């Protein structure tokens, strides 16, 4: 531990210095017992990220663990070393560094990490928020949570055990979550006498696995988290290592500007109406920045207006940026509700009903395509059908395996059909608006985390939110308000649809028949067309249930016509 730290004489100078430092979000991942918590504890200790009472408490906990080991017949050197540390001897060298992050009672009793633990430390160059994630396979969901906001990842491998299946799984999830920088730390090198051949074999295997995953940079480090080798100082026991220390690498990484550099995305969380003269829209800026006077567009209505005020608890501001929580006031009375998104006109998000996504499955029960699920995306929660599992990833060789379902901790690509559109970006372009969770509609359990890839393959998939022609203008040009009319699922549904189409056309209506493609049906209806929809797939009818009008069986063609026209009269807009 650095004992030469100077006392702080000017608090304002200290705070200003730290406020200007760049922030790095780091996640440490790997298989169980690879030493993740110990590595983080060592970093905190060496970078003066701990208080004296924390160190004292860990010394006592270390002594307690040493006594338990000695009582269980554990060989003396380890127990004696821990006892020495507990009495203040050999400072830092034999502390159980894992205890600085493993705060739960169950974690300390079992010597494992269960929940994600976030810790903070700073160096002369930057501030670091580090997430300690669990290695057990049943806690993979917690690992994904910890990695979801990271700029860099350190993946550990035990020098005695090598690369394990969970190590590969964590590396793949890190790449899936868009983490650009990866450090491969071969830990416990002291237990293999700092054998260079062991380090190169394991490092090469893991680097070869990770290289096709798209990381911007991959670096290798031989370390001993318990003894501190190559963590903050170069180790004399690895003279053959020329890659510097882990801390020096963390300090050298370029600053990542994820949120404020992206286009404006402001999902509305709540409409504030404290009195008749105030109407504001509250939420957190997911990405980008907004200024008073900016022209903005509200989705999905595509209404345009201007920002007249940006309010926060501290007062009004001329400008705010992600990830601040604000209330926007607008120039016009626009119909806006929770789940709508305010964005700049020039760079709108996609508006998708059908999309391709990667899922990390967390549920104890396998994915069931007949089951009802909800997708929670920003502030919008939408009933969703998992139309198809495209493939499941084999983490041994990164091959795409055909599959009908996903089980616990599986990772796969799926086709989703949402009953209401998502206002989204691809995950690669925007983490905040490109991610979602899947909820079981019956149990309300979170069963998967998802990353949006783009529109579904083979579907229209996208409404052009940036179009200069509104849906209302298109309907006005046609002179009618459209709708989707669901024909009963009968063997002669297609023939009936074409007969009905002809009759409505003769009556002067703009009408068309769509078979099976829900996205095309919705897009045409939005522009004012009468869409006669039929399909042999029950899930297609389910996907349109909240958007269309179900026609009841009729003995005559005129009966169908009457239903369509009466429905249109009752729902003129």
pLDDT tens column, 154-206? 999 999 999 998 889 889 989 988 899 999 999 999 999 999 999 999 999 99
Nearest 5°: phi and psi at 439? -120, 135
Which numeric CATH code is attached to 266-344?
2.40.30.10
Q: H/E element holding 224?
A: none
Which numeric CATH code is attached to 12-50+113-252?
3.40.50.300
**Strand ordering across the sheet containing 217-222:** 117-122, 126-132, 22-30, 152-158, 181-187, 217-222
Pick the CATH number of 471-570 from 3.30.470.20, 1.10.10.10, 3.90.1420.10, 3.40.50.300: 3.40.50.300
Smallest CA-to-CA distance from 439 within 492, 484, 376, 378 is with 376
Q: How far is CA 7 from the centre of its chain?
A: 41
Q: How far apart are the first and last CA of the chain?
A: 70
The pLDDT score that the predictor gives to residue 520 is 80
The pLDDT score that the predictor gives to residue 296 is 96
Q: Do domains 266-344 and 350-455 have the same CATH topology?
A: yes
d(CA 472, CA 478): 10
The pLDDT score that the predictor gives to residue 166 is 86
Domain regions of the chain by residue span: 12-50+113-252, 266-344, 350-455, 471-570
Q: Along the chain (573 residues), what's the average pLDDT of each consecutive run of 10 residues?
A: 52 64 90 87 87 79 71 51 44 66 50 68 90 76 82 95 90 90 96 96 93 91 94 96 95 80 94 93 96 94 94 95 95 93 92 92 92 96 93 86 93 92 91 95 94 77 54 73 80 83 88 82 81 74 65 75 73 48
Q: 526 with 473: CB under 8 angstroms?
A: no
Nearest 5°: phi and psi at 462? -140, 135
Q: Does domain 350-455 have CATH number 2.130.10.10?
A: no
The pLDDT score that the predictor gives to residue 310 is 98
Q: How far is CA 399 from the centre of its chain?
A: 23
The pLDDT score that the predictor gives to residue 382 is 94
The pLDDT score that the predictor gives to residue 321 is 93
Tell me the two tokens of residue 22: 């760049």
The pLDDT score that the predictor gives to residue 533 is 85
> Which residues, including other chains, have CB under 8 Å from residue 487's CB and lie 6 or more apart?
493, 496, 497, 500, 532, 533, 534, 551
């Amino acid at each position: 531990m650095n004992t030469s730290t100077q006392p702080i004489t000017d608090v304002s100078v200290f705070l200003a210095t730290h406020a200007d430092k760049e922030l790095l979000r780091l996640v440490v991942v790997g298989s169980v017992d690879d030493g993740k918590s110990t590595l983080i504890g060592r970093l905190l200790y060496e970078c003066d990220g701990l208080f004296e009472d924390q160190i004292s408490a860990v010394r006592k906990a270390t002594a307690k663990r040493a006594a338990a080991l000695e009582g269980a017949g554990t060989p003396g050197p380890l127990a004696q070393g821990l006892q020495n540390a507990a009495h203040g001897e050999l400072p830092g060298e034999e502390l159980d560094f894992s205890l600085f992050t493993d705060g739960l009672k169950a974690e300390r009793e079992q010597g494992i990490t269960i929940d994600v633990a976030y810790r903070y430390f700073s160096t002369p160059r930057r501030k670091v928020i580090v997430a300690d994630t669990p290695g057990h396979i049943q806690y993979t969901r917690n690992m994904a949570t910890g990695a979801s906001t990271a700029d860099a990842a350190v993946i550990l491998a035990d020098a005695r055990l090598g690369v394990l299946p969970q190590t590969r799984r964590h590396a793949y999830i890190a790449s899936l979550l868009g983490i650009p920088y990866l450090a491969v730390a071969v830990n416990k090198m002291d237990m293999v006498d700092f054998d260079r051949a062991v380090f190169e074999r394991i490092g090469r295997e893991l680097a070869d696995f990770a290289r096709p995953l798209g990381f911007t940079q991959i670096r290798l480090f031989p370390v001993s988290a318990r003894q501190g080798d190559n963590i903050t100082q170069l180790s004399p026991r690895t003279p053959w290592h020329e890659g510097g220390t882990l801390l020096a690498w963390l300090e050298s990484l370029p600053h990542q500007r994820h949120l404020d550099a992206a286009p404006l995305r402001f999902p509305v969380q709540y409409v504030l109406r404290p009195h008749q003269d105030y109407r504001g829209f509250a939420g957190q800026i997911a990405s980008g920045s907004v200024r008073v006077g900016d022209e903005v567009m509200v989705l999905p209505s595509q209404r345009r207006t201007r920002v007249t005020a940006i309010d926060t608890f501290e007062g009004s501001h001329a400008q705010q940026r992600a990830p601040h929580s604000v209330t926007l006031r607008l120039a016009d009375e626009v119909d806006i509700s929770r789940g709508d998104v305010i964005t700049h006109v020039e760079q709108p998000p996609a508006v998708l009903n059908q999309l391709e996504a990667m899922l990390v499955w967390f549920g104890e029960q396998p994915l069931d395509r007949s089951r009802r699920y909800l997708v929670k995306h920003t502030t919008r929660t939408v009933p969703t059908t998992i139309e198809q599992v495209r493939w499941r990833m084999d983490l041994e060789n990164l091959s795409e395996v055909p599959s009908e379902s996903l089980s616990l901790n599986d990772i796969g690509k799926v086709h989703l059909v949402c009953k209401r559109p998502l206002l989204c970006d691809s995950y690669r372009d925007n983490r905040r608006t490109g991610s979602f969770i899947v909820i079981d509609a019956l149990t309300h359990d979170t069963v998967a985390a998802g990353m949006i890839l783009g529109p579904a393959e083979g579907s229209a998939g996208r409404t052009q939110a940036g179009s200069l022609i509104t849906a209302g203008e298109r309907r006005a040009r046609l002179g009618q308000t459209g709708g989707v009319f669901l024909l009963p699922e009968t063997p002669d549904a297609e023939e009936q649809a074409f007969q009905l189409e002809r009759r409505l056309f003769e009556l002067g209506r703009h009408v068309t028949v769509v078979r099976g493609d829900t996205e095309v049906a919705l897009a045409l209806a939005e522009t004012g067309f009468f869409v006669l929809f039929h399909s042999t797939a029950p899930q297609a009818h389910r996907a349109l249930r909240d958007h269309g009008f179900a026609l009841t069986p009729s003995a005559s063609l005129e009966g169908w016509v009457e239903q369509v026209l009466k429905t249109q009269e009752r729902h003129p807009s």
